[in-house]
Structure 1
Amino acid sequence: MKQSIYIIIPVYNRKSITLTCLENLKANGDLQKYHVIVIDDGSSDRTSEEVGANYPEVIILKGDGNLWWTGAMALGMTYAYERGAKNFIWLNDDSLPAINTLDLIVNFLQEYPNSIVGAACYVETGQLVETGFKGRQRMKALANETIKVDGLSGYCVGIAASIFKEIGAPDAIKFRQYAGDGMYTLKATRAGFKAYILGSAKVILAEEKDPIHNFTNYIQKIKEYKEYTFKSIFWNYKSPYHLPTQFYYHIYKYGYLTGLPLFIIKATSWVIRFYV
Structure 2
Amino acid sequence: MKIWICIPVFNRIEYTLKCLASLQVQSFRNFQVVVCDHGSSDGTTATIQAQFPDMVVLNADSNLWWTGAINRCLAYALEHAAADDGLLTMNNDNEVPENYLQNLAIHFSQFPNSIITSVIHDISSGKLIEPGYRQNWFHGTAYPVDHAKQHVVGYPDVIAVTHASGRGTLFPVQVFRQLGLFDEIHLPHYAADYDFTFKAARAGYPIYICRDCQVFSYIQATGIVKVLNRFSLSSFVNYFTSIRSPAYLPARWWFGWHNCPKWYFPVYFMIDLMRISGGYFKIFIKPYL
Q: Does 1:223 align with 2:235?
A: no
Q: Deviations over 1:101-150 (max 9, x none)?
A: 11111222223221101112211323212253322233356594211011
CA contact (8 A) 1:116 1:194 kept: yes
**Structure 2 residue aligned with 1:100:** 99
1:272 offset after TM fit, Å?
8.3
Bigger shift: residues 147-156 or 266-275 = 266-275
The code of the aligned residue for 2:57 comes to I
Aligned mate of 1:47, from 44, 48, 60? 44
**Structure 1 residue aligned with 2:62:** 65
Bigger shift: residues 220-229 or 18-27 = 220-229
Counterparts in 2 of 1:71-220, with a 5 A limit? 71-85=68-82, 86-124=85-123, 125-130=125-130, 132-136=132-136, 137-140=142-145, 142=147, 144-205=156-217, 207-209=218-220
TM-score (structure 1 length as normaliser): 0.86
Distance change (3 Å), C-alpha of 1:11 and 1:138 = farther
Distance change (3 Å), C-alpha of 1:63 and 1:99 = same
Q: In 2, Cα distance between the equivalents of 1:273 and 1:50?
A: 38
Q: In 1, Cα distance between the equivalents of 2:90 and 2:159?
A: 20
Distance change (3 Å), C-alpha of 1:5 and 1:249 = same
**Structure 2 residue aligned with 1:20:** 18
Q: In 2, Cα distance between the equivalents of 1:245 and 1:35?
A: 31
CA contact (8 A) 1:120 1:140 kept: no
CA contact (8 A) 1:247 1:260 kept: no
1:227 offset after TM fit, Å?
9.7
Distance change (3 Å), C-alpha of 1:126 and 1:39 = same
Q: Deviations over 1:152-176 (max 9, x none)?
A: 1111011000111111111111111
Give the match's secondary structure for 2:25: helix
**Structure 1 residue aligned with 2:139:** none
Q: Deviations over 1:189-231 (max 9, x none)?
A: 11111100011112211x11499xxxxxx68981349994454
**Structure 2 residue aligned with 1:264:** 270
The code of the aligned residue for 1:154 comes to G
CA contact (8 A) 1:149 1:195 kept: yes
Q: In 2, Cα distance between the equivalents of 1:255 and 1:220?
A: 33
Q: In 2, Cα distance between the equivalents of 1:198 and 1:152?
A: 11
Can you give the 5+ residue segments of structure 1 that lack an aligned partner in the other structure? 212-217
Q: In 2, Cα distance between the equivalents of 1:139 and 1:271?
A: 21
The code of the aligned residue for 1:108 comes to H
Give the match's secondary structure for 2:219: coil
Q: Does 1:38 align with 2:65?
A: no
**Structure 2 residue aligned with 1:214:** none
Give the match's secondary structure for 1:28: coil
Q: In 2, Cα distance between the equivalents of 1:183 and 1:75?
A: 18
Bigger shift: residues 91-100 or 185-194 = 91-100
The code of the aligned residue for 1:248 comes to W
Report how many aligned residue pairs link the two structures: 266
CA contact (8 A) 1:11 1:41 kept: yes
Distance change (3 Å), C-alpha of 1:145 and 1:36 = same
Give the match's secondary structure for 1:193: coil
Identity, % of aligned positions: 29
The code of the aligned residue for 2:200 comes to A
Give the match's secondary structure for 1:66: helix
CA contact (8 A) 2:108 2:116 kept: yes
Distance change (3 Å), C-alpha of 1:273 and 1:240 = closer
**Structure 1 residue aligned with 2:249:** 243
